[in-house]
Amino acid sequence: MFGNPLRGTLYPPRAVLFHKDKCRYAQDGHTQTLKVEGGIGSLSSIIDHDDRKPLSRWLDSQRKYAVLEAEKLLAEKSPSSLADRLRKRIWPAVPAAFLYTLFAKRLIFDGWPGMYYVLQRTYAELLLSLELLDRKIRQSNS
C-alpha cells in the first residue's frame, strides 16, 4: 500500500503462469476467474500487487463493483463461501471485513498503510451491503 508491503490482504490466490489454450476466463461478480483445464501447481516466490491508483478512481470503481457483486449474490441460491454467505445476510459482512482484515490478517501491525487497506475493504463491504439492502427494500415496496 503506497509502496509499503502488507502482512496480508483479502486477495485470493491467482493463476499467473498458464498455457492460454488450456484456460479461459469467466465473469465472477466484479472480477474474472481463470478456469484451468488440468492440474495447478504453486509458485514459491511472491508477486507484489502494487496498485497506486488515486483514491477517487478507487471509490468510483467500488460503486460499480458493488452493483456487479450484488447481482452475482442475488443470482446464487446458496453461496458456497463463508464471505458470500455473510454478504448475502447484509449486515454481518461490514464488521466482519473490518475485524478480519485488522486482526486475522494482522494489518493492525502495518501502521497507516494497513489501516488504509482495512478501511478500503470495510468501505467496499459497506457499499455492497447498501446495494443489497436497497434492492431488498425496493423489492418489498413493489
Q: Residue 37: its pLDDT value, please? A: 87
CA torsion, ordered 53, 54, 56, 59, to nearest 10 deg: 40
Report pTM.
0.86
d(CA 17, CA 130): 37
Helix (H, G, I), strand (E, B) or coil at 27: strand
| pLDDT tens by residue, 102-120 | 999 999 999 999 999 999 9
- Residue 137 binned pLDDT confidence (cut-offs 50, 70, 90): very high
Residue 41 above 90 pLDDT? no
d(CA 31, CA 89): 21
Region 19-38 average pLDDT: 85
